[in-house]
Amino acid sequence: MIFNTTTWSKYVFIALEGAVEAVPAGKLELLEEGIKPVGSTFVYGNKYVQRANAAAVDPVSMLLDEARKSKEVVFQPPAGLALFGAIRDAAPDS
């Protein structure tokens, strides 16, 4: 069976400690074959990394300190995974 490959972009929001509303943290690009994710990338937003109370979306594979050092950092999931752990955990189960 051959699936169509689709790429889409979505903004990722995060609820920071002490904040009333979630704020945009960055942009996720997802590559899917049919409905199965096969790859993704994430880039922190410039305004987000400048926030004093910013927190890493995924402290294992999306290190905020790296994004602060270089605004051109494009994160990819570790170990050949299609999704970042934090994104996978936050996504619906089906």
Q: Which amino acid is at 68?
A: R
pLDDT for the residue 46? 93
More confidently predicted of 91 and 4: 4
Measuring CA to CA, which residue among 31, 49, 27, 53 is closest to residue 40? 31
The mean pLDDT of 50-64, rounded to a whole number, is 92
Give the pLDDT confidence of 10-45 residue by residue, as tens digits: 999 999 988 889 999 999 999 988 888 899 999 999
pLDDT at position 93 over 80: no
pLDDT for the residue 35? 80
Measuring CA to CA, which residue among 45, 50, 38 is closest to residue 76? 38
E strands, the chain, are 5-14, 23-33, 36-44
Q: 2: pLDDT confidence band, cut at 50, 70 and 90? A: low
Distance CA 40, CA 82 (A): 6
Contact (Cβ atoms closer than 8 angstroms) between residue 56 and residue 23 = no
Q: 67: pLDDT confidence band, cut at 50, 70 and 90? A: very high
